[in-house]
């Protein structure tokens, strides 16, 4: 039981990686330490910024992500995962160089919505500008109407909440970033969103289900559940 070895291609960012690991721990039903999964984490915070790369403002993270994934490969992981939604833009490049399967959070979210919310027609997305630009959610949720924040809200609220001086990547999970995300989420609701997807791992660190009156889906929670429930 729980014999598979889980590998986390992490560091994007470090707190999101740590939070994802704890989601795996909390969702594993055990009576003693030895019943937990073996989880190997390479929290490589030196991986270049994914959003900057996608927007043409920085170097590609692929080489560093592959090197990180190969570290896990050498240690014998059975399945890998990437607790960074934006980094999934590069998942096919990483998978092509790695022997073990890497779980795709976008695919797992699509399955989750089909099972739990089959009647939903309009979904709001809070994500990085890189994820939005590359239409990652459109790629995987092609039969659902997707609503994003308008241009000013995306820059001044969502990206500021993540990357700003008082943002989540600076270690702030309450106050300014939380209020900005709540405002952006409220705007999506007013535009017709029936549920929200927290399409960036940092967003899920601050914005919780009790903050807005419609369902919120955290892809990291979905992925953790899949890892825990699936057998080797």
Hey, which bits of 17-75 come out as E strands? 38-43
For the question of residue 81 being annotated catalytic, the response is no
CA distance 232 to 227: 9
Strand partners, 80: 7, 102
- Cβ pair 21, 39 in contact under 8 A: yes
Strand partners, 90: none
Residue corresponding to tokens 């797992």: 108
Considering 65, 105, 134, 200, which one is annotated as catalytic? 200
CA distance 176 to 164: 10
Considering 24, 54, 62, 84, which one is annotated as catalytic? 84
Phi, psi of 198 (to 5 degrees): -85, 90
CA-CA distances (angstroms) from residue 42 to 3, 70, 77, 177, 198? 20, 10, 12, 27, 23
Instruction: List all residues 6 or more positions away from 41 whose beta carbon is below 8 Å from its beta carbon.
Output: 7, 8, 10, 17, 21
Active site positions, annotated: 84, 200
């Amino acid at each position: 039981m729980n014999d598979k070895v889980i590998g986390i291609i992490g560091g994007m960012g470090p707190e999101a990686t740590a939070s994802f690991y704890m989601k795996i721990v909390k969702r594993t039903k055990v009576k003693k330490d030895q019943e937990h999964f073996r989880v190997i984490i390479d929290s490589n915070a030196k991986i270049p910024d994914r959003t900057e790369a996608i927007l043409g403002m920085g170097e590609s993270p692929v080489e560093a992500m592959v090197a990180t994934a190969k570290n896990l490969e050498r240690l014998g992981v059975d399945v890998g995962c990437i607790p960074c939604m934006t980094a999934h833009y590069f998942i096919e490049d990483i998978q092509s160089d790695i022997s073990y399967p890497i779980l795709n959070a976008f695919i797992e979210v699509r399955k989750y919505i089909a099972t739990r919310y089959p009647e939903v027609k309009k979904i709001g997305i809070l994500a990085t500008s890189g994820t939005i630009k590359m239409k990652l959610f459109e790629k995987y949720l092609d039969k659902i109407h997707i609503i994003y924040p308008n241009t000013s809200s995306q820059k001044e609220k969502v990206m500021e909440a993540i990357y700003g001086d008082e943002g989540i990547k600076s270690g702030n999970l309450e106050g300014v970033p939380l209020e900005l995300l709540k405002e952006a989420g409220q705007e999506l609701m007013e535009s017709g969103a029936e549920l929200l997807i927290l399409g960036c791992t940092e967003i899920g660190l601050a914005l919780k289900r009790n903050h807005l009156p419609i369902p919120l889906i955290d892809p990291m929670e979905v992925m953790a559940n899949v890892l825990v429930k699936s057998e080797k």
